[in-house]
């Protein structure tokens, strides 16, 4: 390993994985080698690559290549270990070995950080090495650095983000083109935006991993993936997108973390957002995170949330950060989760039933006199008041849509009222319920 007086020696990087992001990282390092060297005062060089199979399209001239990825993690001639293979099991083993070998680590692996990050950060602190993970959230958008450093003077009240490009692409196309979820998903898979098994993207698991990381650095709490309430977009119908538009809203798939006096809300779900809100106008595969601090107010971080070069931008930025502090006193480095490790505090994570917000509800009811009056009486019994109602005309005796926009209410109260309504003979099928996210407005 290098010594403090070796100030002009190259920083030697070992990289495992040769997929899209890894190839982008090699491209950025080669293209901007002089600029990077000017920023850190020494060259940054890939010396060892671990890849399980050949990639003829990738030029690895002059770089040692190993089929056994563990050889890179163990290599005593590597200063920084970059993990870009994804998944959790193999990646976890590799990073643990790299840390024990005294190497700094850079990763884009959000699932690994969200699930195992607490233990890995403790290992890194004990070994006096850094783990860079900017690329794990929102691709090329430097939102982790912004919250951890740029907004360090603030008490963060809440953050909300569109942090999965696949889901945002699907909902955008459904709104703009009037297509079904299944139709747009097929296109997203054909374009490479969605995997053959799209579960992580469309059911919110990917976004939950990212929200876990953002909440930890925003609120100074441990990574708490198991505490995130998660709901996907696979049940969103075009008709609800149309009704939302009629009410002045757009449906987006959000990750929301909010600090309250009782604890922290951690939730991923589709939500109605006022159509003029900044996040409502983030479309296609783009990502955005809105952060509200007590001093700065609301800030928005927007850009490409995935892709070879955007994500590589974040990976290389972490490499530069590591290079700048490699010889610094470890106690003076920026903490992994923004707060000093001894000050990271467990806070209650609120159950979804305690969430307070307005709701969009679509009921299918028989078109007859007195139905709306009966619905409003049941809702009033549970302190659910209405802001707007859309009652579609239909054929008497046949089911029609009844669309309700409530004032702010607890989720538990609304669910109890809907349970009572479900037993009414004039109600057909299950209610469609979506939260309305006011993005910090008083509730």
Residue-wise pLDDT tens for the chain (443 aa)? 444 444 578 999 999 999 999 999 999 999 999 999 999 999 999 999 999 998 889 999 999 999 999 999 999 999 999 999 989 999 999 999 999 999 999 999 999 999 999 999 999 999 999 999 999 999 999 999 999 999 999 999 999 999 999 999 999 999 999 999 999 999 999 988 888 899 999 999 999 999 999 999 999 999 999 999 999 999 999 999 999 999 999 999 999 999 999 999 999 999 999 999 999 999 999 999 999 999 999 999 999 998 899 999 999 999 999 998 886 677 778 888 888 898 899 999 999 999 999 999 999 998 888 899 999 999 999 999 999 999 877 666 678 899 999 999 999 999 999 999 999 999 999 999 999 998 854 33
Distance (Å, whole) CA 273 – CA 254: 10
Take residue 418 and report the two structure tokens written for it: 């809907």
**Taking a C-beta distance cutoff of 8 angstroms, is the pair 161, 288 a contact?**
yes
Q: Which of 368, 367, 385, 379 is nearest to 422 (CA)?
A: 379
pLDDT value of residue 325: 86
Q: Which of 409, 416, 400, 397 is nearest to 443 (CA)?
A: 409
Distance (Å, whole) CA 204 – CA 123: 29
Give catalytic residue positions: 210
Take residue 111 and report the two structure tokens written for it: 């699932």
Which residue segments constitute the domains of the chain, with CATH numbers given? 11-140+309-343 (3.40.50.720), 149-304 (3.30.360.10), 353-436 (3.30.70.260)
**Taking a C-beta distance cutoff of 8 angstroms, is the pair 337, 217 a contact?**
yes
pLDDT value of residue 394: 65
Distance (Å, whole) CA 60 – CA 17: 13
pLDDT value of residue 152: 96
Take residue 70 and report the two structure tokens written for it: 């563990």
Global pTM?
0.93
pLDDT value of residue 439: 81
């Amino acid at each position: 390993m290098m010594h403090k007086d070796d100030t002009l020696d190259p920083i030697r990087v070992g990289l495992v994985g040769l997929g899209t992001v890894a190839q982008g990282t090699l491209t950025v390092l080669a293209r901007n080698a002089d600029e990077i060297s000017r920023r850190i005062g020494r060259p940054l060089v890939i010396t060892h690559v671990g890849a399980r199979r050949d990639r003829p399209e990738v030029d690895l001239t002059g770089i040692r290549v190993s089929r056994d990825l563990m050889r890179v993690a163990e290599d005593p001639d590597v200063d920084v270990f970059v993990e870009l293979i994804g998944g959790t099991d193999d990646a976890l083993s590799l990073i643990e070995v790299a840390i024990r070998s005294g190497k700094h680590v850079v990763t884009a692996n959000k699932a690994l950080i969200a699930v195992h990050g607490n233990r890995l950060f403790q290992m890194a602190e004990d070994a006096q090495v850094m783990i860079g993970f900017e690329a794990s959230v929102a691709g090329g958008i430097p939102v982790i650095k912004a919250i951890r450093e740029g907004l360090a003077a603030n008490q963060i009240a809440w953050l909300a983000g569109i942090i999965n490009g696949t889901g945002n692409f699907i909902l955008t196309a459904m709104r703009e083109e009037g297509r079904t979820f299944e139709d747009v998903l097929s296109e997203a898979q054909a374009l490479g935006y969605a995997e053959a098994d799209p579960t992580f993207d469309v059911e919110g698991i990917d976004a939950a991993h990212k929200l876990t990381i953002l909440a930890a650095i925003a609120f100074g709490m441990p990574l708490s993936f198991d505490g995130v309430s998660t709901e996907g977009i696979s049940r969103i119908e075009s008709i609800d997108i149309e009704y939302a538009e009629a009410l002045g809203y757009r449906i987006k798939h959000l990750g929301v973390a909010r600090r309250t006096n009782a604890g922290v809300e951690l939730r991923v779900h589709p939500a109605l957002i006022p159509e003029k809100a900044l996040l409502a106008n983030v479309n296609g595969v783009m990502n955005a995170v809105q952060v509200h601090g007590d001093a700065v107010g609301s800030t928005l971080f927007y850009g490409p949330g995935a892709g070879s070069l955007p994500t590589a931008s974040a990976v290389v930025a972490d490499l530069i950060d590591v290079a700048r502090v490699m010889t610094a006193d470890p106690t003076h480095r920026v903490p992994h989760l923004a707060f000093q490790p001894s000050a990271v505090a467990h806070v209650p994570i609120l159950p979804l039933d305690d969430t307070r917000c307005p709701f969009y509800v679509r009921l299918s009811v028989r078109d007859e006199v007195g139905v709306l009056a009966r619905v409003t009486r049941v809702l009033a019994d549970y302190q659910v008041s209405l802001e707007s109602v859309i009652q579609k005309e239909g054929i008497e005796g046949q089911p029609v849509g009844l669309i309700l926009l409530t004032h702010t209410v607890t989720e538990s109260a609304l669910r109890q009222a809907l349970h009572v309504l479900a037993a009414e003979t004039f109600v057909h099928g299950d209610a469609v319920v979506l939260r309305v996210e006011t993005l910090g407005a008083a509730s």
